[in-house]
C-alpha cells in the first residue's frame, strides 16, 4: 500500500496555470517560520488515505493520480461523492472545523500526495492569513 515517504519543504503554495497545485519553491537545506513541511507519499490502487468518521491528522494534496471520495448511508450503501484530482486538497474542511472526516478517500490508481500535518497547516494559517486564500 504505502510505498515511499520523502520530506519536502515549501512556501508560497500556488496553483499553476495548468491547474496543478504545486510549490513555487522547493527548499532542501533550511527551514524558516514561513515554510511548511509536507511528506510526499505514494499509495497503490485500493489504498485508503483516510476513513469517514476518523479524526483528521492533516490534509492531503493530490499530486498525481485520482482518489475516490465515498460516504456510507444509514442503510449501509456506499455513495461516491466525487474524485480528487491533481491539485485537489482532501480533508481540509474536517480539519478546519475540528470535525471527523466526512468521507473515505481511496486511491483508484497509483497516487502521490503531499501530506501536511494538522499542526503544520494550522501554524502556517495563524502566521499568514494569505495562505488561507
pLDDT tens digits, residue range 3-61? 333 333 333 333 333 333 333 233 222 344 455 666 799 999 999 999 999 999 999 99
Q: For residues 31 and 116, which has the higher predicted lDDT (pLDDT)?
A: 116
**Which value, to the nearest 10 degrees, does the dihedral of the CA atoms of residues 108, 106, 47, 6 take?**
100
pLDDT for 72 beyond 80: yes
- pLDDT the model gives residue 114: 93
Mean pLDDT of the residues in the chain? 76
What is the CB neighbour count within 10 angstroms for residue 30? 7
Structural domains in the chain, sorted by start? 2-132 (2.60.120.10)
Nearest to 79 by CA among 55, 50, 102, 47: 102
Q: For residues 11 and 63, which has the higher predicted lDDT (pLDDT)?
A: 63
pLDDT for 128 beyond 80: no
What secondary structure does DSSP assign to 93-117, as a single string? HHHHTT---SSEEEESS-EEEEEEE
The model's pLDDT over 93-107, given as tens digits with 9 standing for 90+, comes to 998 888 999 999 999
The band of 126, judged by pLDDT with boundaries at 50, 70 and 90, is: confident
Amino acid at each position: 500500500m504505502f510505498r515511499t515517504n520523502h520530506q519536502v519543504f515549501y512556501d508560497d503554495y500556488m496553483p499553476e496555470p495548468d491547474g496543478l497545485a504545486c510549490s513555487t519553491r522547493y527548499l532542501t537545506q533550511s527551514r524558516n517560520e514561513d515554510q511548511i513541511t509536507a511528506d510526499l507519499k505514494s499509495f497503490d490502487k485500493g489504498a485508503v488515505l483516510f476513513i469517514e468518521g476518523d479524526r483528521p491528522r492533516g490534509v492531503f494534496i493530490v499530486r498525481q493520480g485520482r482518489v475516490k471520495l465515498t460516504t456510507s448511508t444509514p442503510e449501509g450503501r456506499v455513495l461516491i461523492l466525487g474524485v480528487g484530482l491533481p491539485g485537489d486538497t482532501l480533508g481540509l474542511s474536517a480539519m478546519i472545523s475540528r470535525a471527523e472526516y466526512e468521507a473515505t478517500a481511496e486511491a483508484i490508481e497509483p497516487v502521490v500526495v503531499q501530506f501536511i500535518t494538522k499542526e503544520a497547516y494550522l501554524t502556517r494559517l495563524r502566521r499568514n492569513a494569505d495562505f488561507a486564500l
